Amino acid sequence: MKSKHKFLVAITMAGIHTSHANAQNLSSDNNRGIIQTSFPSLLVVPEARAGAMGEAGVATIPDANSGIYNAAKFAFVDKPTSFSLSYSPWLKNLSSGMSISCLSAYHHINDQYTIAASLRYLSIGNIDLTDDNGAVTGNYRPNEFAFDATIAKKYGDNFSLAATARYIRASALSSVGQNDTRSPNAFAIDASAYLKNKGALFGAAGETTYGLSIANIGTKVRYSDNGGRYFLPANLRLGAASAFSINEKNKFTVALDLNKLLVPSPSSSPNGNDLLIPSDKSVPSAIFSSFSDAPGGFSEELKEVAFNFGTEYLFNNQLALRAGYVYENPAKGIRRYLTLGAGYAYQDFTFDFAYLAANQQTSPLANTLRFTLTYNLSKN
């Protein structure tokens, strides 16, 4: 495979949740309606707890990885300080060496304010460089990274807000022989909210929580000097979770998230044969119009909503068993799979594991593993 083509396939497949085709075949019938963005890997879930719960996390119990889904949850985490490291061999059935990692941390400044930061790193793996005759002339390891800084504030005992600033950068395509390419980078912000209410499902003791997050609102990205500009994967995540206790040792959580990309839908060209990705809109205009610009009207807008459903059983606050399901309409992507996982807490450490059980014949995500190690500082 030529190095340029392999890079395009790899970088697009890294964000498989939003696209399953590279830019060269976007207009094919199989890909009509797929929403294309820059840095699609920003919406990949690298950590294992919510990864095992169908990737539902906007309203679940807060932890050190809350910033991936809803940074406002940081205001209600139990421990004063925590660190978390996640790792996943991503798309190992497609490309060897591809992986995604995430290092997260937070700290309570006082009873109202919490600060947090994270570093996400995506490695595309090793790509051979070839000349016009196909001879290998070297190799290249393209990558992406994103750095976040967050501040969350608690308002009373049941409500919090948070703001996150993000810087994203990818290695230059010029390293694979493209003279007009650049190292794409972007800035983005997130805004999120979290609300807690007493009472849970079935009248059991517990609480019901609600979450809202609007993520990756930021600058458009140009991959080459002469190419078009692509929107970041701005995303609306809305959800609820109910955590309830059967008795002192047995607890359950049920969660549901709804996700929608806030970027323009592709539209047909005047000749009807090609798909056009709007790039002339401003970011605010694209966000508001994303609710009504699908060529198929309201019915197609509904297809752009993805569902994440997850459950967790916790025994003695130590052993957790999890399961979930992710559903994305076939017209908008290929994410339809079961997730399973477990977690174990020992003193100040917690280890979580997740397994993605997709169809091996149709999904390159099949058998994806995710691992997370969390360390909680029990004292200030």
pLDDT at 274: 45
Q: How confident is the model at residue 175 (pLDDT cuts 50, 70, 90)?
A: very low
101: which strand partners? 87, 121
Closest alpha carbon to 38 in 227, 180, 164, 306 = 227
> Is 200 or 354 the better-scoring residue by pLDDT?
354
For the segment 139-166, what is each residue's pLDDT rounded down to a tens digit? 777 889 999 999 999 999 999 999 999 9
Name the pLDDT band for 228 (thresholds 50, 70, 90).
Answer: confident
Mean pLDDT of 204-233: 86
pLDDT confidence band for 193 (50 / 70 / 90):
very high
Q: What is the mean pLDDT of the chain?
A: 83
Instruction: Note the helical H segments in the chain.
Output: 3-13, 49-52, 283-289, 298-303
Segment 88-135, tens digit of pLDDT: 998 877 667 789 999 999 999 999 999 999 999 998 877 766 666 667
Tokens 């890079």 appear where? 7
The CATH number that domain 40-377 falls under is: 2.40.160.60
Sign of CA pseudo-dihedral 67, 69, 72, 78: negative
Is 184 a residue whose pLDDT tops 50?
yes
Q: Which are the contacts of 298, defined by CB distance < 8 A and separation ≥ 6?
A: 292
Confidence category of residue 234, pLDDT binned at 50, 70, 90: very high
Q: For residue 196, which phi and psi values (nearest 5 degrees)?
A: -115, 140
Contacts of 201 by beta carbon, 8 Å cutoff, 6+ apart: 208, 242, 244, 254
| Beta-strand runs (E) in the chain | 81-88, 99-108, 113-123, 127-130, 136-140, 143-155, 159-170, 185-198, 205-218, 221-222, 229-230, 235-245, 250-261, 267-268, 275-276, 305-315, 319-327, 336-346, 349-357, 368-377
Count of beta carbons in the 10 Å neighbourhood of residue 133: 6
* Residue 273: per-residue pLDDT: 45
pLDDT value of position 255: 96
**Residue 174: both structure tokens together:** 């010029």
pLDDT tens sequence across 28-79: 444 556 777 888 889 899 999 999 999 999 999 999 999 999 999 999 998 9
CB 372 within 8 A of CB 345: no
Checking if the pLDDT of 183 tops 80, the result is no
Q: Which residue has the higher pLDDT, 277 or 314?
A: 314
**pLDDT beyond 70 at 268:** no
Tokens 């190292």 belong to residue: 183
Give 193 or 135, the one with higher predicted confidence. Answer: 193
Domain boundaries, the chain: 40-377
Task: Answer whether 374's CB lies under 8 Å from 84's CB.
Answer: yes
